[in-house]
Structure 1
């Protein structure tokens, strides 16, 4: 259980409320990173980054339920499956509910039921999906009427990339700024997730310690023409050589077994395999469902992973269902 507390938020003012629902269910997608260019942090703080996100069909579901009037503005979290384990009372869902309540002056609490398909601490955007789904669900439940742009601004205050699941599809992020990227076609991914997660801060610290190895492009510059052209054409074979993650060397240095995971996927027929974001998940781009099945079998038999998932992309952003 967590009490609603202030989270830095954009200039969103209290407004008349019109919500009458007792329960709202929202789905939000996971993500892969097609491109991540990051400069090492300098003496004044965090390094800057340019990231291209693609939403994949790994769906997190948040159901927001009204509390009784004597709940005194608390957020309660319930795992959707018995084996999910305890949820962090100060995690992404609770922080998102707090940010929205603070921004619009809501004092009532909310019960949140979370069902995850995105493994936590994997680099696949589990926390961002939880936050996005919670923002949309509470916005509907409380009748606060925030626009998509206002929800994105709130999400941006919750962390880098946190706004992306609200829009889905494909987008490029420069820090907290997010812009759509034109894309066609469908892409098939096999996602290899190790048993142990990895703290993003640890991956970023290692990248900085290595001196920003791999940062051949100044973050914030235009994306490579090969990447944008492949997405416009809907051509996975052309996209594969344009995939890039400057954090990969740092993540593999922390988890050397990932080098074998990448090699196994590519030997089995993947067009390309690479670490997703801050890892430790590896995303393997494949040509079709037959290739996906072959790569999945090879990775599952490797003994190096906790779970192997298949997902298509791109998919839509967070939406109310049911």
Structure 2
């Protein structure tokens, strides 16, 4: 039943994602591109705290890891977390439900790691709990697919094969934990702009159905980081580099070792480096920080579960 009674708060933690493979087809009639992608959730998290209110308003505040406001992140209906709460309220058909969303962000904004989609997934889960919506995961999945291509995956986490525009999810098992170093830029990139540049570079010659990333799936099944390194692929990388040629310096910053491979995450600009183990991650992170190519350098591992209630 919908939320009634005393004010409640629920905290949800949601991971970032990287694309181990991002095979991009031609633009569809609806403007989206047909994708065949492998999502991989890593242990970098946004936290969404939802507090139920009685005024029917949906409000959001966004802070960084130090608790400082992030004025460049929108807090109106263009914020995906606000849209998620509104979509859920419409589904529950309870217009008087209200919520205050407090988002503590660690995932880079416009970094190609689905930070906005993570917040939408977290808001869905948190509001469903705090409003006592009692929607099942399948019902939340259906709502998530209306919000964005990455949102359904972030409800689940782990590894998954994404089809359609990315919203059709098939879980994928892996036999190992993989270790990553992330090169983060303060200036993000516009996903629509990168896709537009992809179309321009393709000259209308994109394939309708991109090939399935079988080599990545096999590498996950074997748990072999060397095999995964060879298989990593991002069809949006040339478009991102066309718009931001300086990203190439970051990709090349690691040299031949200890990184096994480097790839731009999603639509960029974050660069992710696959390394053999945790010790190699520490060594590479130290080297990249010394070079000062990136605005920040972070260490992560995956796969990890998706959105979870933590308090």
Check whether TM > 0.5: yes
Which residue among 194, 213, 219 is the counterpart of 1:223?
Answer: 213
Distance 1:188 1:212, change over 3 A: farther
Partner of 1:100: 88
Query: What is the Cα deviation at residue 118 of structure 1?
Result: 0.2
Which residue among 91, 94, 102 is the counterpart of 1:113?
Answer: 102
8 A contact 2:109–2:188 mirrored in 1: yes
Asked whether 1:201 is paired with 2:192, we answer: yes
CA deviation digits over 1:272-299, x for unaligned, max 9?
A: 0011110111111101122111221222
8 A contact 1:30–1:126 mirrored in 2: yes
In 2: Cα distance, 1:306 partner to 1:190 partner: 13
Query: What is the Cα deviation at residue 309 of structure 1?
Result: 0.9
8 A contact 1:19–1:140 mirrored in 2: no
In 1: Cα distance, 2:294 partner to 2:198 partner: 23
Query: What is the Cα deviation at residue 41 of structure 1?
Result: 2.3
Asked whether 1:235 is paired with 2:224, we answer: yes
Partner of 1:38: 24
SS, match of residue 10 in structure 2: strand
Which residue among 171, 183, 189 is the counterpart of 2:180?
Answer: 189
8 A contact 2:188–2:269 mirrored in 1: yes
Query: What is the Cα deviation at residue 79 of structure 1?
Result: 2.5
Residues 1-322 of structure 1: matches in 2 within 5 Å?
16-17=1-2, 22-41=8-27, 45-67=31-53, 69=54, 71=55, 73-81=56-64, 82-86=67-71, 87-88=73-74, 89-90=76-77, 91-107=79-95, 108-174=97-163, 175=165, 176-211=167-202, 218-219=209-210, 221-224=211-214, 226-322=215-311
In 1: Cα distance, 2:30 partner to 2:148 partner: 19
CA deviation digits over 1:89-126, x for unaligned, max 9?
A: 22011011011001111221100110111011000110
Query: What is the Cα deviation at residue 229 of structure 1?
Result: 1.6
SS, match of residue 39 in structure 1: strand
In 1: Cα distance, 2:202 partner to 2:52 partner: 49
Task: Flag structure 1 segments of 5+ consecutive residues without an equivalent.
Answer: 1-15
8 A contact 2:251–2:271 mirrored in 1: yes
What TM-score results when the alignment is normalised by the length of structure 1?
Answer: 0.88
CA deviation digits over 1:27-50, x for unaligned, max 9?
A: 111011000111232677433111
Distance 1:48 1:265, change over 3 A: same
Task: Flag structure 2 segments of 5+ consecutive residues without an equivalent.
Answer: none
Could you tell which deviates more after superposition, 118-127 or 266-275? 266-275
What TM-score results when the alignment is normalised by the length of structure 2?
Answer: 0.91
In 2: Cα distance, 1:98 partner to 1:18 partner: 15
In 2: Cα distance, 1:302 partner to 1:83 partner: 27
SS, match of residue 253 in structure 2: helix
8 A contact 2:2–2:92 mirrored in 1: no
CA deviation digits over 1:62-86, x for unaligned, max 9?
A: 000021x3x2x21111224443413
